[in-house]
Structure 1
Amino acid sequence: MSDRRTELLELLDRFGAGLYALLTRLTLREEVAEELMQELFLKLHGAKDQGRIECWYAYARRTAINLAFDWRRRQKIRRACSLDALSERASETDGPLGRLIASEELEQVLAALGRLHGASREAFVMRYLQQHSYEEIAEQLGKTVHQTRALCFRAMSTLRDVLGCVSLPAGGKEVQHVLDE
């Protein structure tokens, strides 16, 4: 077995479960995640300029994210769900209606996330889907913690604009109002 193939098998052995979980979260379908894992392995095996790749895990994660959003684009799943309907929550969130609404909201967020590109999308996925710390993201992306926070903030702002969310006052900071008694 070649050194390159052994290296890839070790990479997938070590990080495969995490990459699979990421693909499952982004596609919302386990069978699609399995297919994309196979495609990921083929892409990694056939990667051009293999000598220039410094961190294979970062390259694999970025490739997995791109594969998932490419799949989402190809599917063209567009559910007719108005933004007004999203703002009205069902009173019973544990029931079938609540799960359906949550699923539709997640589909819309993932579709909007697909409109982000490059480091913004990668930082957002790592922070909010994989729940990595800013320090871990900064290390993986080769950026400072401050730059990583800014990427996540800009990505969140873009998503809010795309989804039509009401922007927060005071430059994005939440303000609590205290009632006088």
Structure 2
Amino acid sequence: MRVIKNSFNVLVFLLMMFSFSQCASTKKVQLQEEFPVEFGEVYFQKWTSGIKEGGSGFDFYIYFNHELPTNIDLDSVYFMNKVAKLKKSNASSKLFIAHFKEINKNQIVLSNEPNAEYSNKLPLKLTKQPFELKSNQCIISYIKDSVTHYYKFSEVIEKEPLLYPSAPNNKQ
């Protein structure tokens, strides 16, 4: 009886160790060799607001030569160690845009009064990207037939930045 109990304990221990070892293994993302639709133009454009509170960032554009099939939905783009959701443009069904906004550290209020710091936003948690990319590469995440796929695009172009004018001075 004692042998059965000891062997049962060892079996349970091994089973637990095996199940926890699966949690530690990292899942490698499989990149697709081809994208289902031909790309037109893929570029990003930095922008800077004309007012201090407006901030800065960049917009990422993907233009396709043809409309996406109904079984494909674009999800996100990984670019410059950041990730953002892709949204279909209202102007064209072939154009998708992702907005990346830089965090303005000047907008953080530090005070002895807790109420003065109430408007501070929580900082975004940086997550380690599962991809190593060069400065002209991005990963496009898309869903095809309810399965998420990833495609590496290697010819991202940088266009001239948009510099918005500053707001007029209201002082007289």
TM-score by length of structure 2 reads 0.27
Which one has a bigger Cα radius of gyration?
Answer: 2
TM-score by length of structure 1 reads 0.26
| Higher-helix-fraction structure | 1
| Higher-strand-fraction structure | 2
Q: Which has the higher contact order (CA 8 A, sep 6+)?
A: 2
